Amino acid sequence: MSTIVDNRYKLASPVGRGATGVVWRAYDMLLDREVALKEIPLPPGPDAVERRRRVVREARMAARLSHRGIVTVHNLAEEAERLWIVMEFLEALTLHDTLVQAGPLPADLVAAMGRRLLDALRHAHDGGVIHRDIKPANIMLTGDRVVLADFGFAAPEGAASGSMRGTPAFLAPEALHGRGGTREADMWSFGATLYMAVEGQTPFRTVNSMAALAEALRGPARAPRRAGPLEPVLRGLLRKDPRARLSAEQASVLLARVRCTSAA
């Protein structure tokens, strides 16, 4: 028997896992369309209140952003001690899966992807939303769309960042000290993601813990070997001092130059 959520959404099959829950392919019986449902279990006891607060914040922040490069949020439901974020369904591969299957991508292709992703990121920032978990697994590629997904760690710009959030290999240095809720920190993660796309590895050695990341960040980043004209963008985005890091506007100009160079 199919599971039906909120008397409306018929679950079909799990299609992935985000930072905070499982994502299901589902069918909206009211509007006759496919959707994606992100299932977020609520822990027992008082922790459920805090989890609910965070999930509602995630859904509201993502829902107020309207951009073809950001996954669209339709609804939020609660049932069976779970919260369900209802989103558009995308028949897509993540950038992570693409790299696993195809290996590193050409610099001009990464620059084109980067321009679309940066446009979405600038829209989020202009709306006062900091993503805090930009990485290949949270970028979906479908047709001519590059879509930023999973706002599970997102926070309003200027909010106290508190504890560290995000994935170690793509975290800005300042995020290790609880200062990751800024545009500059998102730009570092954006740069690390582009580096992974073109080089096939992270800028610093692969790490799985904060201690290992702190140790890795004491040394220089790996020198790019495949980036070509993309190298100035990578170096500018991966400056350890956030005040010296490329802004979104500066990165946009440099990415456009990669396009011009490739077309010449």
Residue numbering of the annotated binding site for ATP: 38
78's tokens: 């609660």
CA distance 40 to 125: 25
Identify the active-site residue in 32, 108, 119, 133: 133
Please give the full DSSP string across 33-65, using - where no structure is assigned.
EEEEEEEEEPPSTTHHHHHHHHHHHHHHHHHT-
Annotated binding site: 38
Active-site residue, 133 included: yes
Residues noted as catalytic: 133
